[in-house]
Amino acid sequence: MPTITLNGTAVSFTPGATILDAARASGVDVPTLCWYPKLPIVGNCRICLVSVAGQNKLLPACATPAADGMVVETESDDAVAVRRSVLDFLLERYPGEHLSNGGRAHPRNEFERYVARYDVPVRPRHELPLRTGDERPGDVMIQHDMSLCILCTRCVRACEDIQEVGVLDVGLRGEYAEIIVGGDGDPDHAGCTWCGECVRVCPTGAIFEFMPNRRFGAEAVRHPDRIARSVCPYCGVGCQIDIHVKNEEVVRVTSPWIEERTPNQGSTCVKGRFGYDFPQHRDRLQAPLIRKGWVRESDRWVWAGESPRHRDGPWTTIEQGAQRRKPRPPERQVGKPPLTGVLPVLDEYDVRDRVATPDSWYSAFREATWEEAMSLAAQEYGRIKRQYGPDSIAALSSAKCTNEENYVFMRMVRGAIGTNNVDHCTRLCHSTSVAAMNRALNTAAASGSMREIEEACDVIFIAGANTTESHPVFGALIKRAVTRGARLMVADVRKTELAELADVHLQMLPGTDVALYNGMLHHIIESGLVNEAFVAGRTSHFESVREAVKPYTVERASTITGIPADLIRRGAELYARGPNTSTLWAMGLTQHAAGTDIVASLLNLMLACGMVGRWGAAMMPIRGQNNVQGASDVGAIPFAYTDYRSVDDRGVRKEFAAAWELPETALSLKPGLMVTEIVQDGSGVHALYVFGENPVLSDPNIAHAEHWVRGLEFLAVQDLFMTETARWADVVLPGSSFAEKEGTVVNTDRHIQHMSPAVAPPGKARRDLDILIEMSNRLGLKTIYADAAAVMDEIARVTPSWRGVSYAKLAREGALQYPVPTPDSAGSAFLFADEFPTPDGRGMFVPVEYLPPSELPDDDYPMVLNTGRQMYHWHTGTMTRRSTGLDSREPVPIVEIAPADAERLGVADGDSVRVTSRRASLVINARISDRQAPGQIFIPMHFREAAANLLTNPTLDPYAKIAEFKVSAVRVEAVHQIALA
């Protein structure tokens, strides 16, 4: 290995390294300001200049390649003199008076530390004015104090080269140079996503998080008591985050150091960095609640309320609320100073003090002790089980909760109640992917890693996934891959950000996916682009698919999908030629009544081209929630125990009965009901236990779901807030948020990651695992776990592919990418290099036919409704609508309408419209957006006051029981044309 002499010591370096790389690797601290790992090197701060023997000038360590035999002095007199002069120049325009006396002992940031380290005198002179720049006034998340800016341009490069957004830049020149936000100071115009990458890289705090400083003061932000490493509670990317705690309060969330090997590589999105304050919201439940009407008579709870039970409350139902006109969002104050008008009082923005849950929602309840609440729940579940049988009870687990909690929960439902009626929101999400992947490859998770998309993939095919909004950190990674040179192809009905960036955008008509993928495969077969070696060696039943796609000529596919035939051909060739194509998909494919078929047709395409089982050719369903993968993996699904082993397999039952010390007969062999089946009339379910879910908003056709929930005999809800579901409950159990619990979660590329608790739950709220353990015991199942680690030990024992997982190993490795079959296994970055886990080791082609969506537009309902997520909100909004920063971005519900449709309807941006489907109607504000194709509208699912799922079609996929969330026929009318309720 080549070596350089660094300050008299021989230091070896890897070829291609800079002097700075070599110095850092050997522990020599060369000061840097503009340099930051992974950012492009610009070498403009000039503080890292070092002496190199034989050079008449000092050279920048950050930009000078190390050469064998080089003799470098990092702290030579010349180098130190330059460093002092650089700091002196910068201090000239920096408000650093506090550094002239005692302040020097307490430097506040990276820059001030160097001032102290090189003992640069601070003279009160300021011949040049303090620096200025765009300030983001009134922004509750990110603000600027540009007098602190030293123009290192890290923020500019982080925005441009890590997040690939390019909001920030250097404006003007010479002494007037400053950091600007877009051309006009409006971050919205510039496409800002509030990811906070700029905050993270700023060396002086010129760009800072506004809310923590405002709420807790700069001192608390600067000097937290402790920092707990955890995992972001939002999407399936599984970003690791650091929770800062001061005085037992979460004050701030930061991301890990960029060079740590985390799935997020140190980034977060806006939700991760700014969406952490909901646990402190005043709506947070702090004591158990029991519905008024339940009274205790000599150790027995009796219902003294009206009979027969039909729940009611002094509040409007979702359906009634939807009829009200929605407010307009407050005016934003943006742009360059001086701003016109008055800046809003920022305290008004703190939604922690703004009531999200109406007081009336609590009025049906009284505060109770844990003993009361638990005994009531245990008594009623016991009674109903005896009265109607175990299958009359169903339980919803949560993809937002840990593996340990999900495991204990499903163990409780299966072991104590004796039913397999346990499911969670994967049903509404990737259940069709799981069904299709199970059928074809006997697997239920991504085959590859996000990292390989960035590093090795040649063509990225994204089908039905708005990655930059729903998984922003992954979205940024994809954009970096495109910058690196990967080709991008997007199949989406909407013109998403990635679709705009794509080489090929296949904008099909809603629900016509099967025709598209069959047509693409047809063309691939016709053009001889099938990977024959792969098909012959690794797959079976190709002939049936070859036959099945024969009728799907490109022309026919073009007629059905509305995509020009040439574009389909181009897309098919791009996909097949690879050489390494990764296949990504999400809700756009799965949330259809034909979802399983759609995914199956995509998998056929993938197998025919052999685009799986190599580094760079990943099969990747992008998972939605932070633990939707794990919750399924550990068996919180109605047909399988851990590792997707069937409940109707007696051998498996025997194993679990032994592990749980139960007689075999205590465990049911009958697969349970799924989320969407539970709420159907005639499901036979009389009692429900809901753990951290909100089915009243997330199920299709809410009006029905809400009506069904109101008729239950008993409902217990374990949650953080009084949700739309919890208000109908008999017992509400206050649980713990992500910051208050320990456990593990699994992200979209199979990383098992550990969450450390940062603070204690508020008031009488308890950790969820403790609640579930006590509930299990009260339901008669002996349950003793010392802590979450003990639960994981048991999961590892009963889960073959997790056998090597333990908290000790997780602490050592940071994250484990399962399968981890043995304690010394390092995990698997990608799977299926040699064979698939099917009985014959081959991937199976499954022929599928195109079926139109179950509800097509007609004269009465001429438009198609699509539903999904926004960047700033999360699912039913329980968390994000109680998060100050996030809610400030999207405070009111909107429907996206194509410009042509808006014109036809006579609707301007912000106007009220009524959207009506065959099931219900709602009033909502229009947002005119060219992301929508004409004839289609989009309503995000997050808003209670205009719940998209009132309108959605509950038709189910025959295999996975997912509803057709993505295609419903609707009618849109401008509100001034109709009377308002």
Partner 1 sequence: MGFPYPSDPRETVLLSKYFGDAGARSYTGWTERGGYEGVKTALGMAPEAVVEEMKASGLRGRGGAGFPTGLKWSLMPKKADKPHYLVCNADESEPGTFKDREIMRWTPHALIEGCLIAAHAIRAERIYIYIRGEYTEPLAIMERAVAEAYANGAAGENVFGSGTRIDVTLHRGAGAYICGEETAMLNSLEGKRGNPRIKPPYPAQAGVFGLPTTINNVETLAAVPHIMVRGAAWYKSLSLSNPKSTGTKLISVCGHVARPGNYEVTMGTPMRELIYDMCGGMRPGRTLKAVIPGGSSVPIMNAEEADRCLLDYEGVVAAGSMLGSAGMIVMDDSTDMVRAIWRLAKFYAHESCAQCTQCREGTAWTTKILERILAGLGKESDLQLLLDLSENMTGKTICVLSDSCAAPIVSGIQKFRGEFDAYLAKARTPAMATA
Q: Which stretches of the chain bind partner 1, using CB under 8 A?
A: 41-47, 49, 57-58, 60, 63, 65, 82, 85-86, 89-90, 92-93, 127-128, 150-151, 153, 169-170, 172-175, 177
Minimum Å gap between C-beta 80 and partner 1 is 13
By beta-carbon proximity to partner 1, the closer residue of 53 and 172 is: 172
Helix axes 554-561, 513-526, angle to 10 degrees: 160
Minimum Å gap between C-beta 849 and partner 1 is 48
By beta-carbon proximity to partner 1, the closer residue of 57 and 812 is: 57
By beta-carbon proximity to partner 1, the closer residue of 60 and 595 is: 60
What are the contacts of 77-80 at 24+ separation with CB within 8 A? 78/51, 79/49, 79/50, 79/51, 80/118
HSE, CB side, 13 Å, CA atoms: give it for residue 370: 17
Minimum Å gap between C-beta 89 and partner 1 is 4
Minimum Å gap between C-beta 32 and partner 1 is 13
Minimum Å gap between C-beta 454 and partner 1 is 20
By beta-carbon proximity to partner 1, the closer residue of 89 and 257 is: 89
By beta-carbon proximity to partner 1, the closer residue of 20 and 848 is: 20
By beta-carbon proximity to partner 1, the closer residue of 174 and 528 is: 174
| C-beta of residue 514 within 8 angstroms of C-beta of residue 597 | yes
Q: Distance between CA atoms of 78 and 493, rounded to whole angstroms? A: 61
| C-beta of residue 515 within 8 angstroms of C-beta of residue 561 | yes
Q: Distance between CA atoms of 378 and 833, rounded to whole angstroms? A: 49
Minimum Å gap between C-beta 941 and partner 1 is 40
Minimum Å gap between C-beta 56 and partner 1 is 8
Q: Residue 381 is inside which H or E element, if any?
A: helix 370-388
Q: What's the length of the chain?
A: 981
Q: Distance between CA atoms of 138 and 158, rounded to whole angstroms? A: 23
Minimum Å gap between C-beta 858 and partner 1 is 49
Q: Distance between CA atoms of 661 and 306, rounded to whole angstroms? A: 41
Minimum Å gap between C-beta 50 and partner 1 is 12
Q: Distance between CA atoms of 793 and 659, rounded to whole angstroms? A: 12
| C-beta of residue 264 within 8 angstroms of C-beta of residue 237 | yes
Minimum Å gap between C-beta 63 and partner 1 is 5
Minimum Å gap between C-beta 500 and partner 1 is 19
3-state secondary structure 631-668: HHHCCCECCECHHHCECCCHHHHHHHHHHCCCCHHHCC
Q: Distance between CA atoms of 606 and 620, rounded to whole angstroms? A: 11
By beta-carbon proximity to partner 1, the closer residue of 166 and 910 is: 166
By beta-carbon proximity to partner 1, the closer residue of 152 and 584 is: 152
By beta-carbon proximity to partner 1, the closer residue of 60 and 761 is: 60
By beta-carbon proximity to partner 1, the closer residue of 174 and 839 is: 174
Minimum Å gap between C-beta 460 and partner 1 is 22
Minimum Å gap between C-beta 101 and partner 1 is 23
| C-beta of residue 362 within 8 angstroms of C-beta of residue 722 | yes
Backbone CA torsion sign across 448, 451, 452, 454: positive
Residue with tokens 């940062």: 758
By beta-carbon proximity to partner 1, the closer residue of 49 and 445 is: 49
By beta-carbon proximity to partner 1, the closer residue of 170 and 851 is: 170
Q: Distance between CA atoms of 270 and 253, rounded to whole angstroms? A: 11
What are the contacts of 111-117 at 24+ separation with CB within 8 A? 111/33, 111/87, 111/150, 111/203, 111/204, 112/204, 114/31, 114/33, 114/47, 114/83, 114/87, 115/87, 115/91, 117/31
| C-beta of residue 649 within 8 angstroms of C-beta of residue 355 | no
Minimum Å gap between C-beta 125 and partner 1 is 10
Strand pairing partners for 177? Answer: none
3-state secondary structure 917-950: ECCCEEEEEEEECCCCCCCEEEEECCCHHHCHHH
Minimum Å gap between C-beta 66 and partner 1 is 12
Compute the CA torsion angle 554, 557, 563, 565 (nearest 10 deg). Answer: 10
Minimum Å gap between C-beta 123 and partner 1 is 11
Minimum Å gap between C-beta 278 and partner 1 is 40
Cβ neighbours of 579 (radius 10 Å): 13
By beta-carbon proximity to partner 1, the closer residue of 44 and 333 is: 44
Q: Residue 514 phi/psi, 5° resolution? A: -60, -45
Q: Where are the beta strands (DSSP E) in 112-152?
A: 142-144
By beta-carbon proximity to partner 1, the closer residue of 30 and 898 is: 30
Q: Distance between CA atoms of 541 and 535, rounded to whole angstroms? A: 9
By beta-carbon proximity to partner 1, the closer residue of 63 and 900 is: 63
The tokens for 6 are 């660094």
3-state secondary structure of 889: helix
By beta-carbon proximity to partner 1, the closer residue of 69 and 217 is: 69
Q: Distance between CA atoms of 963 and 957, rounded to whole angstroms? A: 6
Residues 6 or more apart in contact with residue 701 via CB below 8 angstroms: 919, 920, 949, 950, 952, 953, 954, 963
By beta-carbon proximity to partner 1, the closer residue of 175 and 648 is: 175
Q: Where are the beta strands (DSSP E) in 543-592?
A: 581-585
Minimum Å gap between C-beta 488 and partner 1 is 20
By beta-carbon proximity to partner 1, the closer residue of 42 and 346 is: 42
| C-beta of residue 926 within 8 angstroms of C-beta of residue 894 | yes
Q: Residue 868 phi/psi, 5° resolution? A: 175, -150
Closest CA to 131 of 98, 189, 180, 82: 180
